[in-house]
Structure 1
Amino acid sequence: MLVFLSSVPVTLARDLVVVVKSREVEPYEIALKSLRRTLKESGYDPIIGEYLLPEGGQEKSGLLADIRKKDPRLIVTLGSAATSQISKAIKDIPVTFCMVLNPLASGFVRSMDASGNNLTGASLDIPIQAQFEALRSIVPSAKKIGVIYNPQETESVVLQARRIAREMGLELVGAAINSEEKVPEALRALDKSADTLWSVADSTAFSSGSMKVILLHTLQNKIPFMGLSPAFVKAGALLALDADYQEVGAQCGGLAAKILTGDRPSSLPITTPQKATLHVNLNTAEIIGLKIPANRLKGAVVLK
């Protein structure tokens, strides 16, 4: 059944903005609330209709038809699933995505500077330099950072990370794979050439199945592992950075306001978070034999 969460009759005086959520989760609600606030502060008071992305193919077709019928000025997508569905089906209405990790590797945009299509948006991609700084603050001895990746998905990210690492006096050691089954072999190779493990938003390297293998391997071999999110830390990764969802929502709201003003999405660079919270698992630190000074944990969310 198609779920339309809220609807207000359209008037000529107000633009219609359609919001499509991948699912109902608190981070999306935080971002959406911030987006609404930013639009209002920018002088816009659009009618906002909210949809929840349905699971069935027929219902998804119904959602797309309903959006077409309403003919909004702008579509906002929350999460990768909604962004994928909308970007494939709708090419002639501006789309601003929000809360999306690695939109470049996902194929949503051609570059972070210019999408080359009807999309722009606010990504969850915390700048790589900030990630490496966080890793080095918790693991000062880190010199060689390992990463497992599928070149067809995330080679551009890894190339950028390698350059940034070099500029920071670090070395990024890559282990390329083309299937989830290659993860154990990649881990063994990195055991000999890297002293930490870093993660990228790569669905081949970090599937639900391979994650269990990676976490077990890093714990057994006492390797500091930086995950993609707090969920990784709860599962056993040593640390991760988490974006500020209010900031991401505000960035998305700023882009939406520009589009409602008349800017083309293709001319608006994709934004990245400028604020992040460090999450650290002290149980993992103890297991791998790492002592972290208390001053390094100031402002961090600590799991004990």
Structure 2
Amino acid sequence: MRLKLLMSICLVLVWVLTASAQRVYVAMSNSKPHYQAAETGFWEALSQAGFPKSALTTKTFDLSIDKGQSALEQIQAEPPDVVLTLGTGATKFIRAKAPDIPVVFAMVIFPKRNGLIRSLKRPGNNITGVTLDVAIEDQFKVMLQTQPSLKRVGVIYNPEENRRFITRAEKVAANYGLTLVKQEIHQSNKLSQAFEALAGQIDLLWMIPDTTVFPRDANKLAFARDYLIKNATLKQISTYGLAENFVRSGATLSLMADVTDAGKQAGEIVAQLLKGKPISQISVQYPRTVRLSLNLRTATAINLHIPADVIQQAELKID
């Protein structure tokens, strides 16, 4: 009799736990390695916060398959408590198709400019997350660490796209004793003229995400990247690249978010939500762990002597 009672209690407990298991889904733009690395960090952080994957109802969707239609059907049939979105495309898709579901994003650059949030501090719209953008302060700091004599930083940009960003960057640069030398551009085919107008006035060329300077088309982006790096190097100007592949192509340095740790940050945010904290009280975070890449061959070519302690910090060194 006691055995039957114990078995009944166990069955009831299993049913209750299963029925009440919180649903956490992951939707990624595609299954490329950097998204998978972020997802790995995400589940690791959730487990460390007391939410192992085995105790949750989970699903992972690659939205590049059938344009996300099957994912959307499953999400609508069994709405999750929260969705982790990896990538700008995935985040836009879930926000548009399932706006009532809380979203925590990672692997997204310029979330405000992409229309995903109202601001970093108060994102609103049932959404928050971890931006892929490295804080401007961190970028200028590493420029100075790499090039201590740095005074004048040049930037080419389209004001229609980057006016507010550049206005803020000017203020941050001044706080670090730097002068931001600006050169506007309105057409991609005017890049060489913009660079030549800037070249004689700067110590470093800061490359920022700007679709006029670096078009979305991969071939056009590569052309602009290679043109700027080559010609800046010829003029003994150091270059801060958008990403690690810019350094592999000859840029002097770049700073990028550690994608696995960005996934962990997103996991920590989701853990707060599962514990009951309102999503409206959680601001968007900058990546807390960044990776420095250096091209020492380029540094030698432009007679830039990077301090030894900075070289030691770099995770990628091209020499």
Match of 2:212 in 1: 204
Following TM superposition, by how much is the alpha carbon of 1:55 offset from its aligned partner in structure 2, in angstroms? 6.0
Contact 1:16 1:46 in 2 (8 A): yes
> Which structure has the larger Rg over C-alpha atoms?
2
Deviations 1:271-301 (A, max 9, x none): 1122222110012112323232433312212
Q: Secondary structure at the match of 1:77?
A: strand
Deviations 1:11-56 (A, max 9, x none): 4221111111122233222221221122122222422211112266
1:186 counterpart letter in structure 2: A
Give the Cα–Cα distance (whole angstroms) in 2 for the partners of residues 253 and 247 of structure 1. Answer: 9
Q: Secondary structure at the match of 2:19?
A: coil
RMSD of aligned Cα (Å): 2.0
Q: Secondary structure at the match of 1:20?
A: strand
Q: How does 1:163-182 map to 2 (within 5 A)?
A: 163-182=171-190
Match of 2:245 in 1: 231
Q: How does 1:59-138 map to 2 (within 5 A)?
A: 59-138=67-146
Q: Secondary structure at the match of 1:43?
A: coil
In the alignment, structure 1 segments of 5+ residues that lack a partner are 1-9
- Structure 1 residues 190 and 89: alpha-carbon distance in aligned structure 2, compared to 1, 3 A threshold: farther
- Structure 1 residues 152 and 268: alpha-carbon distance in aligned structure 2, compared to 1, 3 A threshold: farther
Count, aligned residues: 293
In the alignment, structure 2 segments of 5+ residues that lack a partner are 1-16, 216-220
Give the Cα–Cα distance (whole angstroms) in 1 for the partners of residues 164 and 118 of structure 2. Answer: 11
Deviations 1:198-257 (A, max 9, x none): 122223322314223322322232221101221111111110112222321121011112
Deviations 1:87-146 (A, max 9, x none): 233211111101212212222211110112121101122221111111112122211111
TM-score by length of 2: 0.85
Contact 2:83 2:104 in 1 (8 A): yes
Match of 2:318 in 1: 303
* Percentage of identical aligned residues: 33
Match of 1:148 in 2: 156
- Structure 1 residues 266 and 205: alpha-carbon distance in aligned structure 2, compared to 1, 3 A threshold: farther
2:179 counterpart letter in structure 1: E
Higher helix share: 2
2:232 counterpart letter in structure 1: T
Match of 1:51 in 2: 61
1:71 counterpart letter in structure 2: P
Give the Cα–Cα distance (whole angstroms) in 2 for the partners of residues 187 and 22 of structure 1. Answer: 34
Contact 2:199 2:232 in 1 (8 A): no
Q: Secondary structure at the match of 1:93?
A: coil
Following TM superposition, by how much is the alpha carbon of 1:67 offset from its aligned partner in structure 2, in angstroms? 2.0
